[in-house]
Amino acid sequence: MSAELSVGILGYKFMGKAHANALQRLPTFFPDAPETSLDVVCGRDEDAASEAAERLGFDRVVTDWADAIDQVDVFYNLGPNSVHVEPSVYALENDVHVLCEKPLAPTLEGAERMAEAAAESDAVAATAFNYRFVPAIQYAKNLIEAGELGEIRHVRANYLQDWLSDPEAPWTWRMDADTAGSGALGDLGAHSIDLARFLVDDLTSVSGHLQTFVDERPVPGEDETRPVTVDDAYSAQVEFANGAMGTFEATRYANGRKNANTIEINGSKGSVKFDLERLNELDVLLEDDRGFQRVLVTDEDDPYVEHWWPPGHVLGWEHTFVHENYEFLSAAAAGETDYAPGFVEGLGVQRALDAIERSDAKREWVDV
Ligand code: SOE
């Protein structure tokens, strides 16, 4: 492997743009990050992939993912969930580092195969849970680890969007069980569950409920509809290993909520509240406080902030990807195969997603 890590990406749309932007920001803001070369974009549609490669700053294009993986040090799996398993396993078997978007796989079996491949590989595997890398989330984690909230009793985590409220909103792969696995549950719930596992503990049992409100949707540019075979929304009650209890919800139908990813944690001594739509802030209540205090998490000694701007010069959603790429690439360069969030954490979340689906099917509590 050369000193510079060559990068290949599979999938060049929304997540391709987010990660390419992050890779380009690193040399300026995180000069100690490993150097990378943006080498190859992989996509079945060569023309579209070429256009994307040029726009995102990559050198070339291939149409076969194995070709891409054979030629790079680091593989970013940013495609639909149905292409997470095979290419990621192939990369790890060939000791190519992998960062894979969430949820890790469409099924629990797929995620288990990926985690096994990661355990046997000398390469580093990462699951792209970018919200762990929000400074305010790491600030909350530090408070919890320092015991400032005391014994954790409640977790309330919601992820609310509204882009499917309109029944005429077009069909996409995110609505197909074979391609996506699940709907709001895997796409949004995976983030909430990862944050809860990161900040609090493992989930041990769940009572889940899934709902699909609109069964078919128009296919863009065609005179037909396709069935929606995933959930539009889920809710779950959960028990944590440490005895805490939790309530979770995600939907694509919460009119007026664009990307409301919130988590509130209450302990015996204090509480924290986070809302992605105010991501520079954390509401904190400590032992002697009579109400929540708004902490602006933009001081130089706050996580990652010294790399950016002076206090108060707020960060945005895209910065979470820069921090995530910094940590992942640093671990890859150092060969830290116990990197977290790795495929172990991706699998942990997938077990919870699977349990919520099982619970819904049986209409009873199940173990994770
Ligand atoms: C779409 O619902 C989506 O882009 C998710 O796929 C992302 O993971 C989330 O961060 C924002 O919403």
- Over residues 201-255, the pLDDT tens digits come to 999 999 999 999 999 999 999 999 999 999 999 999 999 999 999 999 999 999 9
- Name the residue ranges covered by the structural domains of the chain: 5-131, 135-278+280-315
Percent of the residues in the chain that have a pLDDT greater than 70, as a whole number = 99
Residue 2: is its pLDDT beyond 80? no
Q: How far is CA 14 from CA 27, 44, 80, 185, 214, in A?
A: 22, 17, 11, 19, 24
Q: Which CATH architecture has domain 135-278+280-315?
A: 2-Layer Sandwich (3.30)
- Exposure pattern of 88-114 as b/e (b: 16+ CB <10 Å)? bbbbbeeebbbbbbbbbbbbbebbbbb
- The predicted pLDDT at position 138 comes to 98
Q: Hey, which of 172, 173, 187, 191 would you mutate to test ligand 1's pocket, going by the most ligand atoms within 8 Å of its Cβ?
A: 187
Summarised one tens digit per residue, pLDDT across range 94-120 is 999 999 999 999 999 999 999 999 999
In the chain, the N- to C-terminal Cα span, in Å, equals 40
Averaged pLDDT of the chain: 97
How much is the pLDDT for 3?
A: 74
Tell me the sheet residues that pair with 250: 159, 234
Q: Which atom of ligand 1 is nearest to the CA of 131?
A: 10
* pLDDT number for residue 305: 98
Give the DSSP letter string of 100-132.
EPSSS-SSHHHHHHHHHHHHH-SS-EEE--GGG
| 296 CA to centre of own chain | 24
Decide: helix, strand or coil at residue 247.
strand
Q: What is the structure's pLDDT at 1?
A: 43
Average pLDDT over residues 74-95: 98
Residue 277 is predicted with a pLDDT of: 96
Of 162, 179, 259, the one to substitute when testing ligand 1's pocket (max ligand atoms within 8 A of C-beta) is 259
Superfamily of domain 5-131 in CATH is NAD(P)-binding Rossmann-like Domain (3.40.50.720)
Centre of ligand 1 to C-alpha 169, Å, is 16
How confident is the model over 7-21, as a mean pLDDT?
A: 97
CA 24 – CA 106 distance, rounded (Å)? 30
The model's pLDDT over 64-75, given as tens digits with 9 standing for 90+, comes to 999 999 999 999
For the cut 80, the answer to whether the pLDDT of residue 7 exceeds it is: yes
